[in-house]
Structure 1
Amino acid sequence: LPFLTEAHLEKMGISLMLVPDISKGDVFVLQVFNDPIHGHIELHPLLVRFIDTPQFQRLRHIKQLGGTYLVFPGASHNRFEHSIGVGYLAGCLVQALNERQPELLITKQDVLCVQIAGLCHDLGHGPFSHMFDGMFIPKVRPGEKWKHEMASVQMFDHLVRVNGLEEVMERHGLTLPDDLIFIKEQIAGPLDNSVLNSSWPYKGRPMEKSFLYEIVANKRNGIDVDKWDYFARDCYHLGIQNNFDYQRFLKFARVCEVRGKKHICTRDKEVGNLYDMFHTRNCLHRRAYQHKVGNIIETMITEAFIKADPHIQIQGSSGRIFTISSAIDDMEAYTKLTDHIFELILYSSAPELSEARAILHNIVCRRLYKCVGQTTAETHKLLAWAKDVASSKPSGTDANLTAEDFVVSVIHMDYGMKEKNPINNVHFYCKNDPTKAIKIRKKQVSKLLPERFAEQLIRVYCKKTDDKSLEAAKKYFVQWCMDRNFTKPQARLCNFVTIQTYLVPTAENTLRTVSSDIAVKIRG
């Protein structure tokens, strides 16, 4: 079309007024990325413009699994490749729905916005991913209700502004500011808290396109392309089998109307595969994300960052100086904050960083805090006894142990919706009536499925690693569990205690208390 003159078009019977609409079509070159998980994938040039910015390239230097890489040698992948994968899968799902149901009136602008949201959903992650927003920030800024999703929205705004992408987005047919709002709503949910309780709290798209909000970050049941990518990618790098096939879900996904809103549904026969998806999530948490060594490494890194925080200077906007913890308030400074802060402290020579440097040196020399054991407990009891564990002293031993010698992690794990079964929020359709949405209860599927979908446990570490201290800590922990009718830890031959527990994971967040060495972990 760019080579056709007005005369050529008139001979073909094409009116000149139609040319702008036609020429705005797919006259562009897709860029190919060779991804180890999804193979050769093609991305729209507008997505590439987002990728080729310092704010997005920063994700190359943030480990997807944080400290887990220091336990699993293959887990060296970063937020960068995960984000590209999510952007690609977001496009796959929205285009599959469009091809299967053209009556949904999904536009090219919708597709682009969904892809951009998938691509940019993790822009706000800090050093070592969830360690930063789940452990470090809650300890240094305890009153701060800061989440990486909102940081992603702030970084997205910063990226668009400083790289002048508004004009580029408009050239590709997007409407601003509506499409900017739509992209950010997909990442972090409704942006206006005053309308959260209304029938439709979103502004980027009308209720008729409610299903578009279930692609990147599905708040309704947790089945979204973000999980699809990190299941496949994390399993690949961890060496763990992935039993969920997202390609099969793509084949059966369609939109059905439920009480005035349109939701993404799947075939009734796929209910077992969705339970397998959450089982895969369970396995990843049990074997990797909540690995006791990985958790304590992240605890030690957090301790080092806290000690180093006042002494690290990061230049932000207008030449202002920020620390590790205050960089989240300035996106220019936050752009410079990546995993490199670990090496910056480790290889420093400044006297004021000596304590932080010593902790990180212990990590690289594998002088880690030791796990004394873990036991299960009920949720309502957690706050009542967590501090009791950290502040109690073992009796009947010669070891000199104080509360400061213990790290106590209270871990909540579920299927992503606390005590609820997420499949209860999934709608299905039958082959003979694909327009009618139905629900399938657990008892209709199998009697072997979980009875409970949440579990809590307490995991205790000892900072002192000599045999005498570990033996004393072990004896006290066993007695403490017995006195409270908790599951009794079983002794190991290597002088610590542990219980092999099958765990049910929760959301990928981590909360750490400040008053003592109590660590409350929530990850998913």
Structure 2
Amino acid sequence: MSRSGAAVAGGIAKRGRPPSSPDGFCTPEKRVCAWRAMDPEGPHPRHWGTEQVCDFLCRNGFSEPGLLRRFRENQITGAVLPYLTKSELKDLGVFNDPIHGHIEIHPLLVRIIDTPQFQRLRYIKQLGGTYYVFPGASHNRFEHSLGVGYLAGCLVRALHERQPELEINQRDILCVQIAGLCHDLGHGPFSHMFDGRFIPLARPGLKWKHETASVQMFEHLITSNGLENVMEDYGFVLKEDMDFIKEQIGGPLDTTPRRGLWPYRGRPEEKSFLYEIVANKRNGIDVDKWDYFARDCHHLGIQNNFDYKRFLKFARVCEVKNKKHICTRDKEVGNLYDMFHTRNCLHRRAYQHKVGNIIETMITDAFLKADPYIKIEGTGGKHYKISTAMEDMEAYTKLTDNIFLEILYSSNKELAEAREILRKIELRDLYKYLGETRSEPGKEITEEQYDRLPADIVASRPKNVLQDVELNAEDFIVDVINMDYGMKEQNPIDKVRFYCKSDPSQAVKISKEQVSRLLPETFAEQLIRVYCKKKDEKCLDAATKCFIQWCMDMDFTKPQVNTLLHKYPYTQIHPFPEVRDALKHSWFQRSLVLCVGRASCPCCLSDPRA
């Protein structure tokens, strides 16, 4: 990452202005007045567009092609020009990104990046526990956030250049870029493990999302680093633009909007399409996904089949039911199905990997045991736990993946249990995977049922099966995974509108049947994986049989299990005729048959090696 000019570019604020100038005008205000006097009939320099700025630079000796190109690419306007010296003009922030190449960052964004709150993202793994399975997945939230900020600028500028009538201004562009840059500020240790696993167990009933913390951390970043004046120097209307940025990250600020009314404050309904760039709640097509698809696939070693550059080329705003939405060409519908298919593949192959998930479960267990004894200092010297740090952004700034090592290397006796769990992860002594099943449509497990699933599996224990083995609900881990295309059981492409080459102003819907008969019939399914904390062979055999019987009781699909299938080939001829007859029925063909109550049945022998 080339940051040679970042310090200078980052210093564009009132306190960073040059003390004197060759023309004798020592303050920006006087220089602006002088420029105004040179051309009293023209617009005020603060209102100059990018091309007017470039013309002015050429007339005043700043005619290097590279400099002018950077100004045009970054859409620098007259609001910035009074505060830039010659060296600052040449030194906009440049980052060498492995995914997008050399990306130039607006000086205001550099100021945001160079803060403790943003630098914290360097110490939070993008994929959490997945790094323990895919050794290349060592990237962090920091570089992903840079990429999203960059792509957000690419998309909003593409719309501006293609459709000037949308009246996208420099404030809009910068606000969208800042929202992309800061959208993940609120992630906790190991990213989604924190809000998806740890917080629901540490604080049951708390409805908390990392997006909420991202908004709070953004506010804290701006105020604690004194960036309000810097933003105003760049032409921001502070209240309006701050609301716009926060709404792009976390949704409407008004939690109880009146039905039928525009719920956002930052921008009017005429600019509704701007809310579809960073986090698209309409159909899920946004620059956040574009970056993590490309970045995660690069580090995981998985092929990325989605080309976001084609979307940039064909993106266009059309009116749909009196609202303006981002649409794309009709011929791009296949590319969008590829996008959601890529998302599904990444979840199946990496994000929901059975080993990565159980490692995150073990880290969660360790954090839960350590939580009462960890003290993180926040505002005013008040101390917070891991589970309460997000209540104070000063404390939350200090909470990163480093808490793992803090526990692991601690000599505190109170952390002994947590430390032992983390040591087992280091030694690859993990909870044992028993198998995976799928719920049938209409019989999905709900969140309210999650807590009682381990007890239900224990209660399904067949008679005469290893009765000398003690198994309790605490010995089982049940991981319920809801897989979809991003909108639960809905097809997200149904929410996308397309335009034709012959009439680019008319938005149309394209049904799945118009695209291909090979596309999915259903867009959501539920996986249930079961693990056991006990590791001896007898316990694992008994636990696996409990899991199989539970699948039968629940009428779930035939489970994929680790070892028992090889020991007991149920699909072969069974020694008892009643079971052999049952195997002919479709229900048993979808599930494993576990014969119960017959001591001489090989399925039910107390010693599986007999």
Q: 1:494 to 1:53 in 2, by over 3 A?
A: farther
Q: Which amino acid aligns with 2:455?
A: A
Deviation of 1:12 (Å): 7.1
Q: 1:10 to 1:232 in 2, by over 3 A?
A: closer
- Correspondence for 1:502: none
1:239-287 deviations in Å (ceiling 9; x for gaps)? 0000001011100000001111100000000000000000000110000
Deviation of 1:14 (Å): 5.4
Q: 1:163 to 1:496 in 2, by over 3 A?
A: farther
Counterpart pick for 2:250 among 164, 173, 188: 188
Is 1:96 matched with 2:96? no
Q: 1:175 to 1:329 in 2, by over 3 A?
A: same
- Correspondence for 2:261: 199
Contact in 1 for aligned 2:179/2:245 (Cα 8 Å): yes
Is 1:159 matched with 2:221? yes
Secondary structure of the residue aligned to 2:541 is helix
Q: Normalising by structure 2, what TM-score?
A: 0.78
Contact in 2 for aligned 1:86/1:118 (Cα 8 Å): yes
What are the within-5 Å matches in structure 2 for residues 121-136 of structure 1?
121-136=183-198
Deviation of 1:402 (Å): 1.1
Counterpart pick for 1:370 among 432, 438, 445: 432
Counterpart pick for 1:434 among 500, 504, 518: 504
Contact in 2 for aligned 1:371/1:496 (Cα 8 Å): no
Secondary structure of the residue aligned to 2:482 is strand
Is 1:420 matched with 2:420? no
- Correspondence for 1:443: 513
Which consecutive residues of structure 2, in runs of 5 or more, have no partner in the other structure?
A: 1-20, 26-30, 54-77, 82-88, 568-610
- Correspondence for 1:501: none
Which consecutive residues of structure 1, in runs of 5 or more, have no partner in the other structure?
A: 498-524
Counterpart pick for 1:18 among 44, 52, 56: 44
Deviation of 1:8 (Å): 9.5
Contact in 1 for aligned 2:137/2:300 (Cα 8 Å): yes
Deviation of 1:166 (Å): 0.4
Partners of 1:417 and 1:17 in 2: CA distance: 48
Secondary structure of the residue aligned to 2:436 is strand
Secondary structure of the residue aligned to 1:266 is strand
- Correspondence for 1:511: none
- Correspondence for 2:373: 311
Deviation of 1:25 (Å): 5.1
What are the within-5 Å matches in structure 2 for residues 393-472 of structure 1?
393=458, 394-395=461-462, 396-397=465-466, 398-472=468-542
Partners of 2:424 and 2:37 in 1: CA distance: 78
Contact in 2 for aligned 1:123/1:155 (Cα 8 Å): yes
Partners of 2:533 and 2:418 in 1: CA distance: 15
Partners of 1:414 and 1:149 in 2: CA distance: 21
Point out the more displaced range, 105-114 or 10-19.
10-19
Is 1:264 matched with 2:323? no
Counterpart pick for 1:390 among 449, 452, 455: 455
Q: 1:10 to 1:372 in 2, by over 3 A?
A: closer
Q: Which amino acid aligns with 1:414?
A: D
Partners of 1:308 and 1:11 in 2: CA distance: 67
- Correspondence for 2:580: none
Deviation of 1:9 (Å): 6.5
- Correspondence for 2:73: none
Deviation of 1:390 (Å): 3.3
- Correspondence for 2:272: 210
What are the within-5 Å matches in structure 2 for residues 499-510 of structure 1?
none
Q: 1:314 to 1:133 in 2, by over 3 A?
A: same
Deviation of 1:122 (Å): 0.4
Secondary structure of the residue aligned to 1:177 is helix
- Correspondence for 1:113: 175
Partners of 2:38 and 2:561 in 1: CA distance: 85
Partners of 2:36 and 2:256 in 1: CA distance: 55
Contact in 2 for aligned 1:9/1:16 (Cα 8 Å): no
Counterpart pick for 1:274 among 311, 331, 336: 336
Q: 1:358 to 1:100 in 2, by over 3 A?
A: same
Is 1:252 matched with 2:322? no
Point out the more displaced range, 155-164 or 13-22.
13-22
Partners of 2:527 and 2:232 in 1: CA distance: 51
Partners of 1:447 and 1:421 in 2: CA distance: 14
Q: Which amino acid aligns with 2:487?
A: M
Counting aligned pairs with the same residue, the percent is 69
Deviation of 1:193 (Å): 1.2
- Correspondence for 1:522: none
Contact in 2 for aligned 1:392/1:402 (Cα 8 Å): no
Structure of larger gyration radius: 2
1:219-256 deviations in Å (ceiling 9; x for gaps)? 00000000000000000000000000101110000000
- Correspondence for 1:514: none
Partners of 1:260 and 1:421 in 2: CA distance: 23
Point out the more displaced range, 33-42 or 474-483.
474-483
Counterpart pick for 2:383 among 303, 314, 321: 321
Secondary structure of the residue aligned to 1:293 is helix
Q: 1:113 to 1:385 in 2, by over 3 A?
A: closer
Is 1:350 matched with 2:412? yes
Deviation of 1:491 (Å): 4.5
Secondary structure of the residue aligned to 2:139 is coil
Q: 1:480 to 1:11 in 2, by over 3 A?
A: closer
- Correspondence for 2:118: 56
- Correspondence for 1:338: 400
Q: 1:444 to 1:317 in 2, by over 3 A?
A: same
Partners of 1:468 and 1:364 in 2: CA distance: 25
1:51-99 deviations in Å (ceiling 9; x for gaps)? 0000000000000001111111000000000000000000000000000
Residues matched between the structures, number: 496
Secondary structure of the residue aligned to 1:413 is strand
Contact in 1 for aligned 2:45/2:79 (Cα 8 Å): no
Q: Normalising by structure 1, what TM-score?
A: 0.91
Q: Which amino acid aligns with 1:222?
A: G
Partners of 1:71 and 1:385 in 2: CA distance: 29
- Correspondence for 1:42: 104
Secondary structure of the residue aligned to 1:354 is helix
Q: Which amino acid aligns with 1:259?
A: K
Point out the more displaced range, 11-20 or 476-485.
11-20
Q: Which amino acid aligns with 1:237?
A: H
Deviation of 1:492 (Å): 3.9
Q: CA RMSD in A?
A: 2.1
- Correspondence for 1:67: 129
- Correspondence for 2:66: none
Deviation of 1:37 (Å): 0.4
Deviation of 1:474 (Å): 1.6
